[in-house]
Chain A
């Protein structure tokens, strides 16, 4: 077998095998069903594609669904691929082994990107794929646009992935020898993501003079040009699906150019970034400070679990991004003027402000799901706490405490930012925070049960531990189910105020938390003790 294909195959197997490992299900049909859990996300994604399709169909331009969803898809892939590339290239444990094999540098770079690409393609299938299906089927089956759409779907992760690679890897080569390179990696990549968001939002808000706007709209595909002007490949793609060879050629040519650029740069990327990053010693801090200080066991264990996250840039990026993206979006949208106080002061929004506030402050618990990977993150060092003279209940409890601390810090930051921006009263704040506390306790406790069921300690890339991991999906499904139940409950209580409904939600959350906590401390102790590392 060709060396490149063989290497790619093993990289992809390694990357995806963790996803299906340790399902802890004996029934093979249940196993298959469990693997399909992420596919459930297709329901909200298809709904989104459908509503956008309906809007554009109503004005007679359904192909704009493709343009619109493609732009969104590119943004989403940029977000997803930055931590993924860093994890796969710089923090996976296989590079020293691969480096010793008789392989071309470009083969190593491209084989590592292949597993990233497949992961991104799965995301693209959910969001851009549903748009292609909606466009190609709903108005009557259109075979040609459907086939070209599927080709475009296969190509869709390439532009953001290749651009991100061409930016990130040289950046990492600059910080490779630095003493604080992990910190630089985190800071640099958050700045990069902010920059991408800022560029996207700014481009979509470019003011056009009235005459230019009229001229643009008078053109046959004026609206297409208006939507896609910030990212011309989206226009080329739409026209390609409509059957234009010229624009199809342009779209494909851009991909070829980017692939060729990466091939040309592969020598530099491999030697100056990959190898130099992996050869330095990780930024040793030496201040000759040998201290002897006594701390409580709880403090030491909580510190250990928090440090596990913040000592690994991939874990940190994943944590910070999932919890604080609402803040980043909020800040940027405020700067660009898309959000302003007037919107939130309107009469129509007033009854929903308390829900909005509660939702914002609870974001870290809802999206963060840190407890679902708290055992997994330890990886091969899990044995350390197992031999210590602490009870299993303590071992589990301090893990949950560490994730609660991080979640609550995220919530406090969001609570202060939202309180400064939204016109809310003290009682609204109090009830919002009460809901946040109860929901955080509930979700963290459910998540640790998920991780005890599926510990997954043998991972080669940190992304496998925190992202490419069915635990995260299961925990999101749990949130979806609880959220759905709350929504139904909301519908059953049309005359109650937001205050009362949130108090009821908090009460339900705390009762559920007590029940789940009871189950964990009674039944999950033995399961935790039987985790094999």
Chain B
């Protein structure tokens, strides 16, 4: 579903934000992407979503190279960034209709899904209100509802749990599992290692722009009785 081949992002000759990353994610997988602050997680995600172009390498989404056929590639995924910065002078329902139109979701489908997701996240009653009156968490939930609306093949989330209350975090985790059971794929970054440990089929660890591990949790732990936190701290410690 998602293939990264030798992807590099260099802002100047001396500094590589992402350094020669290769990664393959299969259909139906949930992959957790972890790393310290400034390791290159968001840059990698921005390259996958087409917001940034890689300096080297290629990114293939469902068989489509995003740099060669961006529109076709973008129809395969939706994205929720690490900050809920969205145009907020419109109502919540305007935003969801906007997203539905962009991904050509039929009227029947959008009604059903909007009601389902927004009721699950408890923001349905706030939909007629302008987004600038929403709290940080409500905006995050609106973004998540919008991203789930087109039922994307690939769901890309950057720090999706930040700002969510425990109830909504639980709902999101359930929806992520359900999405994968229905054949969807999820690639998400997080600092909450317990969630990554409990939710993901595989974990990718990035440090200083390089992928230092990408495997099943047990393999990364080398079958030792240690937590992901201990593995993470060991792999990302400063030399």
Contact = CB atoms under 8 A, between A and B. Distances in A.
Interface of A: 281-297, 300, 304, 307-308, 311-312, 378-381, 383-384, 386-392, 529-530, 532-533
Contacts of A532: 52
Contact of A387 (B50, B87, B110, B130): B50
Interface string B90-114: 1101000110111100110011001
A290 B50 contact: no
Given A292-B111, A304-B87, 19 more contacts: A284-B129, A285-B129, A289-B93, A289-B128, A292-B110, A292-B114, A293-B107, A295-B101, A304-B90, A304-B98, A311-B90, A312-B89, A384-B86, A386-B49, A386-B51, A387-B79, A389-B71, A389-B72, A389-B103
Contacts of B102: 297, 300, 388-390
B101 A294 contact: yes
A383 B81 contact: yes
B74 A281 contact: no
B191 interface: no
Contacts of B51: 383, 386-387, 533
Contacts of A386: 49-51
B132 interface: yes
B46 to A, nearest CB: 8
A371 B232 CA distance: 47
Chain B interface size band reads: 35 or more
A296 B100 CA distance: 10
Contacts of B110: 292
A21 to B, nearest CB: 16
Nearest to A285: B130
Contacts of A533: 51
B98 A300 contact: yes
B133 interface: yes
B70 A392 contact: yes
Contacts of A387: 49-51, 74, 78-79
Contacts of B74: 387-389
Contacts of B132: 281-282
A94 B42 CA distance: 25
Nearest to A385: B102
A295 B96 CA distance: 12
Nearest to B73: A389
B113 to A, nearest CB: 10
A290 B100 CA distance: 14
Interface in B102-146: 102-103, 106-107, 110-111, 114, 124, 127-130, 132-133
Interface in B41-65: 49-53
B133 A307 contact: no
Contacts of B100: 294
Q: Give the 10 A-B residue pairs with the shortest CB-CB distance, closest first.
A: A311-B89, A389-B74, A380-B85, A284-B133, A281-B133, A282-B132, A389-B75, A381-B87, A292-B111, A388-B102
27 contacts: A282-B130, A282-B133, A284-B129, A284-B133, A285-B128, A290-B114, A292-B97, A293-B97, A294-B100, A294-B106, A294-B107, A295-B101, A296-B101, A300-B97, A311-B89, A311-B90, A381-B86, A386-B49, A387-B74, A388-B102, A389-B72, A390-B71, A391-B70, A392-B70, A529-B50, A532-B52, A533-B51
Contacts of B90: 304, 307, 311
